[in-house]
Amino acid sequence: MLVVMQAHATAEDIRAVCAKIETLGYRAHAIPGAERTAIGVTGNQGEVEVGTLEEMAGVQEVIRVTKPYKLVSRDMKVENTVITFSGSEATFGGPGLAIVAGPCAIENRDQAFAIAERVQRAGAQFFRGGAYKPRTSPYSFQGLGEEALEIMARVRESFGMKIVTEAIDHESLELVEQYADVIQIGARNMQNFSLLKRAGRAHRPVLLKRGMSATLEELLMAAEYVMSEGNYQVILCERGMRTFADHTRNTLDLSLIPAVQRLSHLPIIVDPSHGTGKRNKVTPLSRAAVAVGADGLIIEVHHEPDRALSDGMQSLYPDQFDELMVQVKQIAPVVGRRVPVIGEAAAAANRKGSTRLTIGANS
Amino acid sequence: MLVVMQAHATAEDIRAVCAKIETLGYRAHAIPGAERTAIGVTGNQGEVEVGTLEEMAGVQEVIRVTKPYKLVSRDMKVENTVITFSGSEATFGGPGLAIVAGPCAIENRDQAFAIAERVQRAGAQFFRGGAYKPRTSPYSFQGLGEEALEIMARVRESFGMKIVTEAIDHESLELVEQYADVIQIGARNMQNFSLLKRAGRAHRPVLLKRGMSATLEELLMAAEYVMSEGNYQVILCERGMRTFADHTRNTLDLSLIPAVQRLSHLPIIVDPSHGTGKRNKVTPLSRAAVAVGADGLIIEVHHEPDRALSDGMQSLYPDQFDELMVQVKQIAPVVGRRVPVIGEAAAAANRKGSTRLTIGANS
Amino acid sequence: MLVVMQAHATAEDIRAVCAKIETLGYRAHAIPGAERTAIGVTGNQGEVEVGTLEEMAGVQEVIRVTKPYKLVSRDMKVENTVITFSGSEATFGGPGLAIVAGPCAIENRDQAFAIAERVQRAGAQFFRGGAYKPRTSPYSFQGLGEEALEIMARVRESFGMKIVTEAIDHESLELVEQYADVIQIGARNMQNFSLLKRAGRAHRPVLLKRGMSATLEELLMAAEYVMSEGNYQVILCERGMRTFADHTRNTLDLSLIPAVQRLSHLPIIVDPSHGTGKRNKVTPLSRAAVAVGADGLIIEVHHEPDRALSDGMQSLYPDQFDELMVQVKQIAPVVGRRVPVIGEAAAAANRKGSTRLTIGANS
Amino acid sequence: MLVVMQAHATAEDIRAVCAKIETLGYRAHAIPGAERTAIGVTGNQGEVEVGTLEEMAGVQEVIRVTKPYKLVSRDMKVENTVITFSGSEATFGGPGLAIVAGPCAIENRDQAFAIAERVQRAGAQFFRGGAYKPRTSPYSFQGLGEEALEIMARVRESFGMKIVTEAIDHESLELVEQYADVIQIGARNMQNFSLLKRAGRAHRPVLLKRGMSATLEELLMAAEYVMSEGNYQVILCERGMRTFADHTRNTLDLSLIPAVQRLSHLPIIVDPSHGTGKRNKVTPLSRAAVAVGADGLIIEVHHEPDRALSDGMQSLYPDQFDELMVQVKQIAPVVGRRVPVIGEAAAAANRKGSTRLTIGANS
Most B CBs within 10 A among C247, C276, C280, C327, hence the mutation to make, goes to: C247
Question: Which residue in B has a C-alpha nearest to residue A219's C-alpha?
Answer: B136
Interface touch B135/A193, C-beta < 8 Å? yes
Whether the CB-CB separation of D28 and D232 falls below 8 Å is answered with no
With a cut of 60, say whether residue C130 has pLDDT above it: yes
Residues of C in contact with D170 (CB under 8 A): 169-170
Chain C closest-CA separation from residue A243 CA (Å): 5
- Phi (first) and psi of residue D237, to 5 degrees: -150, 120
Q: Which of C228, C217, C206, C283 is closest to C252 using CA atoms?
A: C283
- B-side interface with A, Cβ within 8 Å? 42-45, 68-70, 134-139, 141, 168-172, 188-189, 191-195, 197, 212-213, 217-218, 221, 224-225, 228, 242
pLDDT digits (tens, 9 = 90+) for B325-358: 999 999 999 999 999 987 554 455 455 544 443 3
Distance from CA of B307 to the nearest CA of A (A): 15
Predicted pLDDT at D347: 52
CB C210 within 8 A of CB C237: yes
* Phi, psi (deg, nearest 5) at residue C32: -70, 140
The subunits that touch chain A, with at least 3 C-beta pairs less than 8 Å apart, are B, C, D
Whether the CB-CB separation of D206 and D233 falls below 8 Å is answered with yes
Closest CA to C332 of B270, B326, B283, B331: B331
Which residues have C-beta within 8 Å of that of residue C333, sequence separation ≥ 6?
Answer: none
For the segment C218-226, the average pLDDT, to the nearest whole number, is 97
Provide the pLDDT for residue D345. Answer: 42
Query: What whole-number distance in Å separates Cα of residue C105 and Cα of residue B289?
Result: 31
Tell me what the mean pLDDT of segment C62-73 comes to: 86
Strand partners, D92: D83
User: Which residues in A have their CB inside 8 Å of a CB on B?
Assistant: 42-45, 68-70, 134-139, 141, 168-172, 188-189, 191-195, 197, 212-213, 217-218, 221, 224-225, 228, 242
CA D253 to chain centre: 17
**d(CA B322, nearest CA chain A) in Å:** 34
Instruction: Label residue A249 by pLDDT band (50, 70, 90).
Output: very high
Which DSSP string corresponds to D21-49? HHHTT-EEEEEE-SS-EEEEEE--SS---
- Option in A259, A292, A327 nearest D287 (CB): A292
| Position A220 pLDDT exceeds 70 | yes
- Residue A270 predicted with pLDDT over 90: yes
pLDDT exceeds 60 at position A247: yes
Phi/psi region, residue C339 (left: phi>0; alpha: psi -120 to 50; beta: rest), is: beta
Q: List strand residue ranges (DSSP E) for chain C, in order.
A: 2-5, 27-32, 37-42, 59-63, 83-84, 91-92, 98-102, 126-128, 162-166, 182-185, 206-209, 234-238, 268-270, 296-300
The rounded distance, in Å, linking the Cα atoms of C104 and C130 is 6
Q: Residue A55 has what pLDDT?
A: 86
In terms of phi and psi (left: phi > 0; alpha: psi -120 to 50; beta: otherwise), the region of D312 is alpha
CA end-to-end distance (rounded Å), chain C: 31
Q: E-strand spans in chain D?
A: 2-5, 27-32, 37-42, 59-63, 83-84, 91-92, 98-102, 126-128, 162-166, 182-185, 206-209, 234-238, 268-270, 296-300
CB B292, CB B328: distance < 8 Å? no
* Residue B140 and residue B105 in contact, taking contact as beta carbons nearer than 8 Å: no
Cβ–Cβ < 8 Å for B235, B205: yes
Q: Do A193 and B137 touch (CB under 8 A)?
A: no
Q: How far is CA D58 from the centre of its chain?
A: 33
Task: Give the orientation angle of helix D318-331 with respect to helix D279-292, to 10 degrees.
Answer: 20
pLDDT at B45: 58
Q: How many CB atoms lie within 10 A of CB D124?
A: 29
Instruction: Please give the average per-residue pLDDT across C115-124, as a whole number.
Output: 97
CA B6-B8-B11 angle, to 5 degrees, is 95
Domain map of chain C by residue range? 2-63, 83-353
pLDDT at res. C251: 98
* CA torsion, ordered A244, A250, A254, A259, to nearest 10 deg: 70
**D-chain residues near C44 (CB < 8 A):** 139
pLDDT on residue D150: 98
- C69 contacts in chain D (CB < 8 Å): 137
Collect all residues of chain A within an 8 Å Cβ-Cβ radius of residue B221.
136-138
pLDDT number for residue A245: 96
What's CA D129's distance to the chain center, in Å? 14
Tell whether the model's pLDDT for residue C168 goes beyond 80.
Answer: yes
pLDDT at C46: 58
Is B193 in Cβ contact with A168 (below 8 Å)?
A: yes
DSSP A293: T
3-state secondary structure chain B: CEEEECCCCCHHHHHHHHHHHHHCCCEEEEEECCCCEEEEEECCCCCCCCHHHHHCCCEEEEECCCCCCCCCECCCCCCCCCEECCCCCCEECCCECEEEEECCECCCHHHHHHHHHHHHHHCCCEEECECCCCCCCCCCCCCCCHHHHHHHHHHHHHHCCEEEEECCCHHHHHHHHHHCCEEEECHHHCCCHHHHHHHHCCCCCEEEECCCCCCHHHHHHHHHHHHHCCCCCEEEEECCECCCCCCCCCECCCCHHHHHHHHECCCEEECHHHHHCCHHHHHHHHHHHHHHCCCEEEEEECCCHHHCCCCHHHCECHHHHHHHHHHHHHHHHHHCCECCCCCHHHHHHHHHHCCCCCCCCCC
Q: What is the mean pLDDT of each run of 10 residues along chain D (363 residues)?
A: 89 93 88 86 70 87 83 93 93 97 97 97 97 92 95 97 97 98 98 97 98 97 96 98 96 98 97 95 98 98 88 92 97 95 56 42 37
Burial class (CB in 10 A: 0-12, 13-18, 19+), B34: exposed
Given pLDDT bands bounded at 50, 70 and 90, which one contains residue A178?
Answer: very high
For B37-48, how does the pLDDT look when each residue is reduced to its tens digit (9 = 90+)?
989 888 765 566
Q: Are strands C182-185 and C206-209 parallel, antiparallel or unpaired?
A: parallel
Tens of pLDDT along A23-44? 888 889 998 887 889 898 887 6
The three-state (H, E, C) secondary structure of B34-101, written as one string: CCCEEEEEECCCCCCCCHHHHHCCCEEEEECCCCCCCCCECCCCCCCCCEECCCCCCEECCCECEEEE
User: Can you tell me the mean pLDDT for C200-210?
Assistant: 98
* CATH C-level class of A2-63: alpha beta
DSSP string for C77-123:
--SPP-EE-TT-S-EESSSBPEEEEE-SB---HHHHHHHHHHHHHHT
Which chains border C (3 or more CB–CB pairs < 8 Å)? A, B, D
Distance of CA D291 to the CA centre of its chain: 19
DSSP codes, D198-252: HHHTSSS-EEEEPPTT--HHHHHHHHHHHHHTT---EEEEE--B--S--SSSSB-
B143-197: per-residue pLDDT in tens? 999 999 999 999 999 999 999 999 999 999 999 999 999 999 999 999 999 999 9
- What ipTM did this prediction achieve? 0.89
- Please list the residues that pair with B235 across neighbouring strands: B207
Q: How far apart are CA C268 and CA C237, in angstroms?
A: 5
Mean pLDDT of B47-69: 82
pLDDT tier for residue B53 given thresholds of 50, 70 and 90: confident
Give me the phi and psi of A275, to 5 degrees please. -65, -20
Count interface pairs A-B at CB distance under 8 A. Answer: 88
User: Searching chain B, which residue's CA lies closest to the CA of residue A172?
Assistant: B194
Q: Name the band, by pLDDT with cuts 50, 70 and 90, for residue C255.
A: very high
Count other Cβ atoms within 10 Å, centred on residue B198: 22
pLDDT of A261 over the 80 cut: yes
C-alpha C106/C-alpha C144 separation (Å) is: 7
Q: Model confidence over B206-249: pLDDT tens digits?
A: 999 999 999 999 999 999 999 999 999 999 999 999 999 999 99
Reported as half-sphere exposure (CB side, CA atoms, 13 A), residue A175 has a value of 19
CB pairs C-D closer than 8 Å: 91
**Contact predicate A58/A5, CB 8 Å:** yes
Query: Average pLDDT, whole number, for chain C?
Result: 91
- The mean pLDDT value of chain B amounts to 91
pLDDT at residue B354, rounded to an integer: 43
Q: What is the pLDDT of residue D362?
A: 39
Residue C51 has pLDDT above 70, yes or no: yes
Partner residues linked to A62 by β-bridges: A3
* pTM for the full predicted model: 0.90
A120-177 residue pLDDT tens: 999 999 999 999 999 998 988 899 999 999 999 999 999 999 999 999 999 999 999 9
Q: What is the rounded (10 degree) CA torsion for D243, D244, D247, D251? A: -10
CATH architecture of A83-353: Alpha-Beta Barrel (3.20)
Task: Quote the CA–CA distance of C327 and C208 in Å, as a whole number.
Answer: 26
Residue A64 has pLDDT above 60, yes or no: yes
Please determine whether the domains at D2-63 and D83-353 fall in the same fold group of CATH.
no
SS3 D268: strand
CB pairs under 8 A between A and C: 5
Q: Let me know: does A309 contact A141? Beta carbons within 8 Å.
A: yes
